[in-house]
Amino acid sequence: MQEFDVVIIGGGPIGIACGLEAKKQGLSYIIIEKGTIVNSLFNYPVNMQFFSSSEKLEIDEIPFISKEAKPKRNEALEYYRRIVTSNQLNIHLFETVTHVKKQEDSFIITTNKAQYKGNNVVVATGFYDLPNRINVPGEDLPKVSHYYNDPHYYASQKLAVIGASNSAIDAALECWRKGAEVTLIIRGPEVGQRVKYWVRPDIINRIEEGSIKAYYNSEVKEINPTAIIVTTPDGDVTLENDFVLALTGYMPNFEFLEKLGIALSEDEKRLPSYDPETMETNIPGLFLAGVICGGMETHKWFIENSRIHAPIIINTIRKRMAPEGKEISLHP
């Protein structure tokens, strides 16, 4: 069984940043990622443009050069992939962590491929894997998706988009421009205030001119193979429908956190317990990094404001090892 000073679960930007920092400080480490490099970003829509400028997405002060001030998905994939390959980071891809067990002062990490021993564990798994379900009849029909990829797929189709955030509004506009008949179903009274500032006026104009139909203060009541039923302030409305994009957000894997023994707040925010000075949870030696720190408040942590987690965590681990006189060698 291989032993590491740090086992990092999650190969997104912040997991990669933790690996870079561990390597720089001479700690042995491994990054375990269940998908490809920056798997969540890979699953973003093909035409997605970040809200953040490229320099705010940089990790370890490695320059991120993009064609525009705000980079697109393909540029981010190139950037993070090159960081991994050029720095020869020790990352295991398409390997899923199934169990983490505390054993005295270390951890046994079991995956679908191997077992590892880690003196410390960093959880940097993000929140993009579990969609917030709307829990209505018909949600599991093949015509319904909680993820959006390419607008071409919906050309000449009657498409309902549920949600008022960036992902929903981007999908509605892109699909309309490719020839879909788009209807927005929004639970609140308006398009979300956190929608990208250059996109929000666009969708409002399209709604006001009638190009995109919007139902405010409304919710989908039922989905069937040929229609959806929407509850509106004026009563239920039945709409002909070919496809539904339920883009109502995503959540961290709380079940995984609870299995690790991490305490979660009992309110709807489900905030995990950690010390912001060290990022260590209530389990000694177990740390959190990145957007997972926000629980259900997934809008609070981004790449740009959680990059600092990597040096905080690795510095904490390094300082604890130094007094013990442990030799720090430059493992790959």
Verify that 260 and 193 share a domain, yes or no.
no
pLDDT at 243 over 90: yes
Verify that 172 and 316 share a domain, yes or no.
no
Verify that 310 and 288 share a domain, yes or no.
yes
Cβ contact 175:259 at 8 Å: no
Specify if 330 maps to a domain.
Answer: no
Verify that 21 and 113 share a domain, yes or no.
yes
Instruction: Please give the pLDDT value at position 330.
Output: 42
Domain end among 246, 270, 301: 246
The Cβ-side half-sphere exposure at 278, using a 13 Å CA radius, reads 17
pLDDT at 331 over 70: no
Mean pLDDT of the chain: 94
pLDDT band at 329 (very low <50, low <70, confident <90, very high): very low
Instruction: Please give the pLDDT value at position 298.
Output: 82
Instruction: Please give the pLDDT value at position 102.
Output: 94
Give the mean model confidence (pLDDT) for residues 92-110. 96
Specify if 104 maps to a domain.
Answer: yes
pLDDT in tens, 56-68: 999 999 999 999 9
Show the beta-strand stretches assigned E in 53-143: 91-92, 97-103, 106-111, 115-123, 130-131
Specify if 331 maps to a domain.
Answer: no
Specify if 282 maps to a domain.
Answer: yes
pLDDT in tens, 268-318: 999 999 999 999 999 999 999 999 999 998 888 889 899 999 999 999 999
Cβ contact 152:161 at 8 Å: no
Give the mean model confidence (pLDDT) for residues 218-241. 98
Structural domain harbouring 62: 2-130+250-324
pLDDT band at 128 (very low <50, low <70, confident <90, very high): confident
Verify that 53 and 65 share a domain, yes or no.
yes
| Cα–Cα dist 248/245, whole Å | 9
Domain end among 246, 274, 305: 246
Number of domains comprising the chain: 2
Verify that 63 and 81 share a domain, yes or no.
yes
Verify that 18 and 121 share a domain, yes or no.
yes
pLDDT at 332 over 50: no
Phi, psi of 309 (to 5 degrees): -60, -35
In the chain, how long is the greatest CA-to-CA distance? 72
pLDDT in tens, 178-192: 999 999 999 999 999
Cβ contact 35:42 at 8 Å: yes
Instruction: Please give the pLDDT value at position 323.
Output: 58
Q: How far is CA 165 from CA 15, 45, 193, 196, 248, in A?
A: 26, 14, 8, 9, 8
Specify if 229 maps to a domain.
Answer: yes
Verify that 112 and 260 share a domain, yes or no.
yes
Verify that 19 and 124 share a domain, yes or no.
yes
Verify that 173 and 268 share a domain, yes or no.
no
Give the mean model confidence (pLDDT) for residues 68-92. 96
Domain end among 195, 225, 246: 246
Specify if 254 maps to a domain.
Answer: yes
Give the mean model confidence (pLDDT) for residues 66-78. 94
Specify if 194 maps to a domain.
Answer: yes
Percent of the chain at pLDDT > 90 equals: 87
Summarize the chain as % helix, strand, coil (round to 5): 25, 25, 45
Specify if 51 maps to a domain.
Answer: yes
Phi, psi of 129 (to 5 degrees): -85, -25
pLDDT band at 325 (very low <50, low <70, confident <90, very high): very low
Q: How far is CA 247 from CA 57, 144, 186, 226, 320, in A?
A: 24, 10, 11, 20, 43
Give the mean model confidence (pLDDT) for residues 150-162. 97
Q: What is the CATH number of the domain that holds 41?
A: 3.50.50.60
Verify that 126 and 255 share a domain, yes or no.
yes
Verify that 258 and 223 share a domain, yes or no.
no
